[in-house]
Structure 1
Amino acid sequence: MNILAPVSSVKEAEQLIAHGADELYCGIGLGALKNRQGNTDREIWINRRESGNANIPDLESLSLLVDHAHAQGKKVYLTLNQPGYAQDLYGEILAFVREVKKSCQVDAFIVADPGLIRMLIRKEPDIVIHVSSLAGVLNSSAVLFFKKLGVKRIVFPRYLEAETLKKIVDRAGEDLEYEVFILNDGCMFEESHCHVSHQFGGAFCHNPAWRYKLIPPEEGGVLETWKLRNLKIAGETFEDNVEELKRWQWLGIKNGGGYIGAKYPLGMCGLCTLPEYRDMGITSLKIVGREAPLSKKIKSVQLLKKVLDYQREEHLPDEVRDYARRTKGARMLCGSGYMCYER
C-alpha cells in the first residue's frame, strides 16, 4: 500500500518524499475560474481549497514539483474536486487540464463532478481520473457507475467501515485502484453531502463550545423539556450525548485541539485497520491536510511508514494494531474510539 501525502510546495515535496511518501496530491492556486453571467464576474474556486497556503501557487511551481517527484519514481495527483461545477465552466476547465497535461504531466486528476469526469474522458481519452471522496462513493453501485465512465481509482469517504468496504471492493473488482483516509482530519457529517460554510471563522459544526438545547413540544412546555432531558436512551441522557459529541469534536474533528501526542499528531486515524486494508487490496492510504504545516505532514508520513514497515514484517493483525497504538503514543485516546475512522 502506498503512502499518499498532501503537498503545497516543491520544498514540501522534497521533504515528504525523503521521509517515505510514495504519492503526492495537491491543488493549484491559479486564481479563480470566472463564470461570466451578465455584467458580473463571479470567482469560482478551482478545487476544494481556496487560493493560499493549501495550494501550489502556479503552473511553473507545479511543473518543478512533478519533475522532482518523477525523478524519484513518485506520482503527483492534482485536485479538481469541487462536488460540482456550473456546466458553462466545463470548457474553461478542459482548457486548463490540457494546459496542465502539456506543461506539467501530472499522473492523475482528482475529480468529484460526474459530468466533468464524463466530459474530460470523452475529450481527452488518455486522461487518468481518480474519483474524489467529495463524490460520495458510499456503495458498490456508485463504484460501478464511475467504473463505467472510465476512471482508474476510487477515493472512498472517510467513515466507511472495513466490512462495508470489502463488500464494495469484492463486487466492483480488482481492476480499479482504491484509496482510503488513514490519518488526520475528521468531518462532523459526510463531507460530500455537507453544505456548511467553512468561511467567516470556520464551520459552526466544528466548534466544541457550540451550545445545544431541547425545544419543547407545544404541549407540556417546560415539563416536557424536563422529561426529554432526563429520558435515558441506552443509559445516557441528552446532556450525556452532548458531552460525548463535544469530546469527539475536540479529539477527532479538531485533531485533539491541535496538540501532538507523545511524538505524533493526534486526530482521526485508521492505523488499526491496516491489516484489513491490505487484505482487501487497498492501493493508497491518504494523509489528510493540504493546509497543515510541513512538520505535521512529515510526522504523519513517518508514523504511517513506521506502522506499515512493521506490518510488512508479517506480524499478526493484533500485533500490528497494538504496535500502531504504542507508536502513536496516545493509548488512552485510542481506547476511547473518538479518533477512529473505523468507528
Structure 2
Amino acid sequence: MKIVSGLGSIDEYIPFVKAGADEFFCGYVPLEWSRKYGTIRPLNRREVMNYNVQVGSLEELKILKNMMECYGVPVKLTLNSLYYSGTQYEEIAQYVDQCMQIGFSTFIIADPALILYLRQQNIPCRIHLSGECAEINSIFLEHMDAFDIQRVIFHRKNSIADMHSCVVKCKGKIPEYEAFFLNELCHFTGAYCNSLHCDEFAHLCHVPYELGKYNADRGITGEQAVSEEEKIPIADEEDGYVTGATGCGLCALYDLADAGITHLKIVGRGNYTEYARKDIMQTKRALTIREEVKEHFGDKTDKGRAAYIERIRKELFTNGCMENCYYRGEKIR
C-alpha cells in the first residue's frame, strides 16, 4: 500500500518525501483564474491565499517538476470543483495541456462532465476519480471505466464493506483504489457540501454543532450530545501534535488492505507542516506493523487484526485514541 499526502506548498515536498510519502496531490490555481472567477466559481474548491494550500504560479509548478525528477515521488494535480460553467471547460482543457507540457500527467477530477470533455478533446491525461465525486456503487464505477480511469478515490463516507464490494466487482477494469486514512473526518460528503473553502468565510464543517436526539421540551438530549468546542485533544508531543485528532483510519488498516485498497490518503493541505510530516511517519509505521503482524500470523485474519490493533494503540497513541474513527469497528468478513 502507498502513502498519498496532500501538499500545501513546494517547500513541503522534500521533508514529506523523507518522512516516507510515496505520492502527493496538490492544487494549482493560476492567479489569472482567481482574478477572473474569484471564490464563487472555483477551480479547485480551495480558493485560499492566506496560508499554504495551493501552488500559486506556473514557475512554482516547474520547480516542483524538477523536484519530482530528483526524488522520483510523483505529484497529481487536483480539479475538485463539483461542476464548471460551459465556458470554463475550454479554459480547463488549456490548463491541463499546459500542465502536461511541464510534466504533470495525472489529474484528480470530481466533475464527470469535465472527464467527458477531456476525453472528447482527446487529451491523453491520466485521471483519478476524486473523492468529491461521491462514488456510490460498482455500477457507477463501471460506467466511469469507459473514460479510462486509473484510480478511484473513495469518498470519506464509504464503509470498508462497500469499498471491498466495488473493488471485487470492478476487478480488472480500474487498477487502483484510494481511501481516506487520516484527518478531516468531515460530517459532510464532499459531493454534497456547499461550503466555500476560502479566506473570507469559516468552513461550514468548522462551525460548532451538537449531535443527539431532539426533544421539543429539552432540546438536544442523550449520550450522543457532543459539543465540538468541548472536545480538547491531549497532545502526543510537546508541539501539540495529536495522532488522528481530526479523523483516523489507523486501526482499520488491516481490513483496508484486505479490501483491496492500494493507496492511503492523508489529508494535509493547510495543516502545519510538522503535523503533516508526523502523519506520514505514523502511517509508515502502521504499514510496517501490519507487515510484521502478517508475517507472524499469516492468514489468521482475526488474530492478526487483533494483534495489529493492540500494537497500534500501544505504539502510536501515546495518550490514548481520539476515537475519531473513519471506519469504526468494521470488518469485511
TM-score range, shorter chain: 0.7 to 0.9
Cα distance, 1:269–1:88 mapped onto 2, change above 3 Å: same
Cα distance, 1:102–1:19 mapped onto 2, change above 3 Å: same
Counterpart contact for 2:210–2:225, Cα < 8 Å? no
**2:194 equivalent in structure 1:** 195
Cα distance, 1:212–1:272 mapped onto 2, change above 3 Å: closer
Distance 2:89 2:216 in 1: 51
SS at match of 1:152: strand
Cα distance, 1:210–1:273 mapped onto 2, change above 3 Å: closer
SS at match of 1:268: coil
- Equivalences for 1:52-71 in 2 at 5 Å? 52=49, 53-71=52-70
Correspondence 1:342 to 2:321: no
**1:99 equivalent in structure 2:** 98
SS at match of 1:188: coil
**1:6 equivalent in structure 2:** 6
1:135 offset after TM fit, Å?
0.5
Counterpart contact for 1:30–1:58, Cα < 8 Å? yes
SS at match of 2:166: helix
1:138 offset after TM fit, Å?
2.0
Kindly provide the amino acid, as one letter, of the partner of residue 65 in structure 1. Answer: L
Distance 1:210 1:204 in 2: 14
Counterpart contact for 1:32–1:46, Cα < 8 Å? no
**1:239 equivalent in structure 2:** 221
Cα distance, 1:326–1:267 mapped onto 2, change above 3 Å: farther
| Deviations 1:228-258 (CA, angstroms, capped at 9, x unpaired) | x49xxxxxxx4125623x35x866xxxx56x
Distance 1:191 1:95 in 2: 26
Cα distance, 1:326–1:69 mapped onto 2, change above 3 Å: farther
**1:320 equivalent in structure 2:** 308
Q: Which runs of 5+ in 1 are unaligned?
A: 36-40, 215-223, 231-237
TM-score of the superposed pair, with normalisation by structure 2: 0.84
Cα distance, 1:250–1:327 mapped onto 2, change above 3 Å: farther
Counterpart contact for 1:109–1:129, Cα < 8 Å? yes
| Deviations 1:151-193 (CA, angstroms, capped at 9, x unpaired) | 1111101121111111111111144211001001111121211
| Deviations 1:13-66 (CA, angstroms, capped at 9, x unpaired) | 01100110000110013125379xxxxx54332212114220012122112212
Cα distance, 1:64–1:34 mapped onto 2, change above 3 Å: closer
Correspondence 1:275 to 2:250: no
Counterpart contact for 2:235–2:242, Cα < 8 Å? yes
Identity of aligned residues (%): 28
- Equivalences for 1:207-218 in 2 at 5 Å? 207-208=207-208
Distance 2:313 2:212 in 1: 33
Runs of 4+ in 1 over 6 A off after TM superposition: 210-213
| Deviations 1:197-254 (CA, angstroms, capped at 9, x unpaired) | 455542345333679996xxxxxxxxx833xx49xxxxxxx4125623x35x866xxx
Q: Which runs of 5+ in 2 are unaligned?
A: 297-303, 329-333
Find 1:292's aligned residue among 240, 246, 271: 271
Correspondence 1:72 to 2:62: no
Work out the number of aligned pairs and report it.
309
Distance 1:333 1:300 in 2: 15
SS at match of 1:5: strand
Cα distance, 1:125–1:21 mapped onto 2, change above 3 Å: same
